[in-house]
Amino acid sequence: MLRGIGVRFGGLIALEDVSLTVPPRRIVGVIGPNGAGKTTVFNVICGFVAPHTGTLTLDGAPLRPKPHRLARRGIARTLQGVGLFAGLTLVENVMAGATASARAGFVSALLALPRSTREEARLREDAVRQLDALGIGKHADALPATLPYAIQKKAGLARALAARPRLLLLDEPAGGLGADEIDELAVLIRELPETAGTAVLLVEHHMDLVMSVCDEIVVLDFGRVVATGTPDQVRGDPAVAAAYLGTDAIPDSRPVAGDVTR
């Protein structure tokens, strides 16, 4: 849950008084034109950007996010594009995603003690199962660059799910995918609360996908929430049409404040 979040980059207001709540096992979408602040919302939740105003809470407790501690708190995120580790095979990528659950100490790793090797075997097993669940298990030992884009995207999702999140942040999961692949993705996301027990916060440009999977949608424009509601409510909201189509001459050359992490 975010309350009254404000972010400024120098004189540029990226987010102003943004509040949103993701209830457990619900799917919430954040939409808005380029530069509306969608990715900045993610970066605030992940601790890449510190908000100037406002508070974050997770399960009622205040959250001061640090990127490397998120997974431990039950928050996982996919990245725009692919963001896989290029030098790691798919299964190793997914195993890396489960780092927060790894316990073996340095000495047991150095000496390859049973404690470490057993844990590695468990992580590998879990990772293969995760890849299998997404239908890409046969590529487990391939390097990302050798595989089609859609499979890499799925592997990125598998890596995020390996952290067993309660809140999954999906940053443009449909970016670069074809129509059939997007349909498949929609089914997959729709099932995540059921299969993975996680809530989903989704940033996406592809409107059909957002409308078909989300329980609730938050519309951002110029860093402000201009509408909140179910897909049907949002679709009919005149403020949303204004944000996208521009009823009062909005300049095209607005500064892009989001997308700072990539």
Minimum CB separation of residue 116 from another protein in Å reads 6
Q: What is the rounded CA–CA span in Å between residue 15 and residue 7?
A: 5
Q: Rule CB under 8 A: is residue 112 a binding residue for another protein?
A: yes
Cα separation, 228 vs 241, in Å, equals: 13
Bridge-based pairing state of the strands 216-221 and 12-20: unpaired
Starting at the edge strand found earlier in the chain, the sheet holding 2-9 runs: 12-20, 2-9, 53-58, 61-62
**Contacting residue, 10, 106, 251, 253, with another protein by CB under 8 A:** 106
- Shortest Å distance, C-beta 198 to another protein: 15
Candidates 17-25, 55-63, 87-95, 251-259; binding stretch for another protein (CB under 8 A)? 87-95
Residue 120 contacts another protein per CB under 8 A: yes
Query: Closer CB to another protein, residue 78 or residue 217?
Result: 78
* 212, 186 contact by CB (below 8 A): yes
254: tokens are 């607005």
Which amino acid is present at 228?
T
Q: Looking at 3-11, 98-106, 128-136, 247-255, which segment touches another protein (CB under 8 A)?
A: 98-106
To the nearest 5 percent, what fractions of the chain are helix, strand and coil?
40, 20, 40
Q: How many residues bind another protein (CB under 8 A)?
A: 40
- Contact call for residue 150 and another protein (CB under 8 A): no
- Provide the 3-class DSSP secondary structure of residue 154: helix
Chain contacts with another protein (rule: CB under 8 A): 46, 48, 67-72, 76-77, 79, 83-88, 92, 95-97, 99-100, 102, 104, 106, 109-112, 116-117, 119-120, 123, 159-160, 163, 261-262
